[in-house]
Amino acid sequence: MFLALLAAQAAHSLEEYAFRLYEVLPPARFLSGLISSNLAFGFAVANVALLAFGAWCYFARVRPRHSAGRFWAWFWTLLEGANGSGHLLLAALTGGYFPGAATAPLLLGFAASLAVILGRESGEETTKGRPPGRA
């Protein structure tokens, strides 16, 4: 489910780029500008870095059941849930489409699914006497 969440973030990033989120959302413009004076390029670099970090979290921490894997899985679950919620809220506040709103439900759905899985795993570990903290 973690990889599905990352795939949804990749689609979300493409939508944000195509509809120029970096031109309409001040924090995105700021972050893009820190990377490059070409905002489109800076935004693309930031999103590739985000996805690379997500892949590292999965392959280096979550998948091998590293002791910090559960933390990173929850981190991404909450991050993407907030990301999806934020885009839908911005769309509602603007009264129409806002870049990222079309793929926001994917983020919310996969984040919710991952939260359920993580919650179940936590319950299983507690009832089986294993220490919590493994994703």
Spatial separation of the C-alpha atoms in residues 40 and 30, rounded to whole Å: 12
| Domain annotation covers residue 49 | no
| Domain annotation covers residue 63 | yes
Angle (nearest 5°) at CA 17 between 14 and 20: 150
Residues of the chain predicted below pLDDT 70: 125-135
Spatial separation of the C-alpha atoms in residues 1 and 77, rounded to whole Å: 10
Q: pTM of the entire structure?
A: 0.89
| Domain annotation covers residue 109 | yes
What confidence score (pLDDT) does residue 123 get?
Answer: 75
| Domain annotation covers residue 32 | no
Spatial separation of the C-alpha atoms in residues 41 and 30, rounded to whole Å: 13
Spatial separation of the C-alpha atoms in residues 64 and 58, rounded to whole Å: 8
Domain limits for position 114: 2-18+56-127
Number of domains the chain is built from: 1
What confidence score (pLDDT) does residue 122 get?
Answer: 83
* Model confidence pLDDT, tens digit, residues 70-103: 999 999 999 999 999 999 999 999 999 999 999 9
Spatial separation of the C-alpha atoms in residues 122 and 96, rounded to whole Å: 39
| Domain annotation covers residue 80 | yes
